[in-house]
Every structure is written in structure tokens, then in C-alpha cells.
Amino acid sequence: MRVAITRRVSLRDLLHGARHQGNVALSRQLAMYLAHVLLSRTQQEVGFLFSRSRTTVTYACCNIEMPREDPVFDEEVQRIEAQICGYGRQPTTELRHAA
């Protein structure tokens, strides 16, 4: 839900089985990545939640991990991670490599 709010996409679009491009697709990939990395869900569990295959979740995690080299994108991801983890606890950088 935090990804939907931050990236201004509907929760329905985020969870819907239909294919999307652009902001919706990237937002869904980010949500899948965070569910896997921060919430310690298996890729198969994440795929089930988003009506996607495990291989699609793997692809999504790679698509988020690579652009994190960009400081602007990484800052956005870190902000969302902090909101999910709680404002008093900052996520560790080791989480980035769990995907």
C-alpha cells in the first residue's frame, strides 16, 4: 500500500493481473521487491500475492536492484523502506542484496 501511495498508482492497478507499462509496472515491481526483501516473503509467495509467477518476481527484483545505483531512485526506495520498517528504524544496506 505504501508503494501505491508514494508512487501515485491505485492499489487495484498494483495488484491487478493485467499487464501495465510505465509507472504502474515499475511500481508493481518495486512492491514485489519490497515484499520479498523487507518482508522476507519467498518469491513464490510474492508471485501469488501479485498474481504473477516466481520468475516474474525474480525479474522484478533485478529490475529494481540495478537502478538502485542511481542515487535519486535509491533515495526513493530507501524512503519507502523506512516507512514500511517504521520511521525510527532505518533499513540496512544489506537488504539490497537479498534479492
pLDDT per position as a tens digit, 55-82: 999 999 999 999 989 999 999 999 999 9
Asked if 62 and 37 touch (Cβ cutoff 8 Å), the reply is no
Question: For residue 30, what is the DSSP state?
Answer: H
Average pLDDT over residues 18-28: 85
DSSP reduced 3-state for 32: helix
The pTM score is 0.79
Q: Give CA angle at 98 (14, 79), nearest 5°.
A: 55
| 56 vs 20: CA distance, rounded Å | 14
Is the model's pLDDT at 98 over the cut of 70? no
CA 64 to chain centre: 7
Domains of the chain, with CATH numbers?
Answer: 2-97 (1.10.1750.10)
